[in-house]
Amino acid sequence: MYRFIMCNMEELPKHIAVIMDGNGRWAEKRGIPKIFGHREGIKTVKMVVKAVNDLGIEALTLYAFSTENWKRSKKEVSALISLFCEYIEKEINELEKEGVRMRVLGDVGLFPKKMTDLLNKAIVRLEKNKRLILNLALNYGGRDEIIRATKRIVKDIKEGRVSVEGINESLFSSYLDTYPISDPDLLIRTSGEMRISNFLLWQMAYTELWITSVLWPDFTKDDLFSALNDYKARKRRFGAR
């Protein structure tokens, strides 16, 4: 059993981002369809959401479906969409009870109406909660987000709401999907892949990275605490010596 080293809230990350990788490999190792890996991964999502909420962490961003995931088989994509809907329907009461707010990052217009309706209803129902902000990155890509933000800035320049001279990092950040949430302090990636996979490209300029070979369905609270203990031991200089 891994022991979590208790620390002050100031030593914990305010915002954790997670690339939940390895569901398919978890299933393949067991000779079962990938959907069973994704379904097992939902259990890990529930555990992590509760754990970080209990710790008082402000925001959790989960990379649930990337813009590149449409390249997967239609059967797998359809199964993932069904799982998203099932998660929202089954967990909305618990999320409300736990004071969790929900936000969506990405362009969800390509998803079926049933899913977008469920997302919108969940966002409205949970919007007055005061604890963890749960960001679900759905049809999300970092490059796509930057392009969409740029288009909105150009539109506002044409309509006189923004000047070219007024563009700076702060203004650009205000057009991103994550606004007004602070950038991630810690990125957790499971399955051992050494890349960020087009995730929060602007926001992760100074994010601390923690990568484990553990597959997402096998990721435990002890693994989470290991990441947090490692994070609190690091010295964040943000470019300063």
* CA separation for the pair 35, 42 (Å, rounded): 11
Please name every residue paired with 17 in a beta bridge, in sequence order, or none if there are none. 61, 187
Catalytic residues, by residue number, are 21, 69
Please name every residue paired with 140 in a beta bridge, in sequence order, or none if there are none. 66
Which tokens belong to 166? 């007024």
If residue 64 lies in a helix (H) or strand (E), which one and from where to where? Answer: strand 59-66
Residue 208 is which amino acid?
A: E
Residue 50 is which amino acid?
A: K
- Neighbour tally for 15: CB within 10 Å: 23
Question: Is the separation of the CB atoms in 151 and 176 below 8 Å?
Answer: no
Question: Is the separation of the CB atoms in 113 and 82 below 8 Å?
Answer: no
Inter-CA distances, 163 with 13, 25, 156, 166, 176, Å: 35, 49, 8, 5, 18
If residue 105 lies in a helix (H) or strand (E), which one and from where to where? Answer: strand 101-105
If residue 133 lies in a helix (H) or strand (E), which one and from where to where? Answer: strand 133-140
* CA separation for the pair 74, 16 (Å, rounded): 31
